[in-house]
Amino acid sequence: MSDNSIDWNLLRKVRNHTANAREREAFEAWLQADPRHRAYYERMLREAEIRRAAKPLPLDETFDELRKALVPQPVVRRSSFLLRYAAVAAVIVLCVAGVVWQQSRNDVETERVCDLLAREYHPASDRALLIVDDVSYSLGEGAELDLDIAGGRIATEGSERLNYSADDEARAVQNRLIVPRGGFYSVRLEDGTVVTLNAESELIYPSVFDAHDREVTLRGEAFFEVAHDAARPFYVRVDGYRIQVLGTRFNVSAYGDEPRHHTTLVEGSVRILEEDSRTLCREIQLYPGEQFSREVATSRSMVTRVDTSRYTAWMEGEFVFDNTPLGDVLRTVSRWYDFRYEITDPALEKYTFSGQISMKGTSDYLFRVLHEAYIPVTLRFEEGILYLDKR
């Protein structure tokens, strides 16, 4: 937990009195770092207590009972001023009661939707589809594969990895590894390079590389641990550019529905080869701790220094957000839990969220956190779609 972000898993443990000594120490350090942190935490506790204590008013009787109790009865010789005063007071009370009733109703519906999400949408599991010579093979969830092909061998290694090997006479065969929404998978290529694919991603690669270079194509997100081979540079092709490496560790995020693509270097060095159609435009060298970003719509690019752990946290089973717009948060989380959503008010997309959330938790936890973070959103779930309305 840093000074400017919140680890929501830790906050929940502290609130539920399940944090260990080390976690409690980290929480206390964050609490002391800024008076606003303590004020926020105390406010969160008060709001949680109010929600627990609140009882929804009966929906079919509320306004009828309020009307009977609050509308003044005729009184002989009562001044018209007092009658008007009482009527205005009754209207004000009714309006306040209506707001409380509506908020209570929204809270009940949000709680119902959160319970449904927790039951129906679970964290991603190891699963993928491999296509070789137009034949499909389902992987993960206990499925095993042992396939001989053109002088090479493809076999599952445990439940989360595919492993390639080849002899000197092996012939290259094109492979497609497709990881769906709600899945993840990794592959050890013939040269020893390991690629871990995030949800809704696809990798295209040969079963064996040639003697001159090694090239794969990525759609989506993957973490690469490239085996060093000075004689054969390794290339990752994404939309609009290629990444050239000899041996290194880096993350690539190149989803089709994201406005920007990122290449984040953790270790070693890579060279970005930007392309315009078939013409090479320029080369950009990256060093550890640097990130290359490219806007999809305009092709404008830039290099910045970043905290690489934020962009590789998914490899450790964590969502990490840092002033991330709500729309970006939802795209990321919905891929992992495989649910559909719609933001009904564009104003909600301007809200940002910072925090760290376990990817192993239930899908409702994010929305409970958003509620505690005072983002003005209510939830509806209709015909398989989660709707986020502005309250």
- Tens digits of residue pLDDT in 379-391: 999 999 999 998 7
What per-residue confidence (pLDDT) applies to 1? 54
Give per-residue pLDDT as tens, 162-190.
Answer: 999 988 888 899 999 999 999 999 999 99
pLDDT at residue 142 in the model: 81
- Residue 155 and residue 147 in contact, taking contact as beta carbons nearer than 8 Å: yes
Q: What is the mean predicted confidence (pLDDT) over 352-365?
A: 90
CA distances to 164, 295, 342 from 386, in Å: 40, 28, 6
- Cα–Cα distance, 254 to 258 (Å, whole number): 7
Q: What letter does residue 312 receive in the DSSP assignment?
A: H
Assigned architecture for domain 125-312 = Sandwich (2.60)
Read off the pLDDT of each residue in 224-243 and give the average, rounded to a whole number: 94
Between 67 and 34, residue with greater pLDDT:
34
| Burial (CB count within 10 angstroms: exposed 0-12, middle 13-18, buried 19+), residue 15 | middle
Give the number of other Cβ atoms within 10 Å of residue 48's Cβ.
13
Amino acid found at 370: L
Residue 83: predicted pLDDT: 44
High-pLDDT (> 70) share of the chain, %: 80
Q: 323 or 4, which is more confident? A: 323
The single-letter DSSP state of residue 143 is B
Q: Which residues contact 249 (CB under 8 A, 6 or more apart)?
A: 223, 224, 225, 226, 265, 266, 267, 268
Q: Which residues contact 199 (CB under 8 A, 6 or more apart)?
A: 124, 179, 180, 181, 182, 183, 184, 220, 335, 336, 338
pTM: 0.77
Whether 364 and 373 have beta carbons less than 8 Å apart is answered as: no
Per-domain boundaries in the chain: 125-312
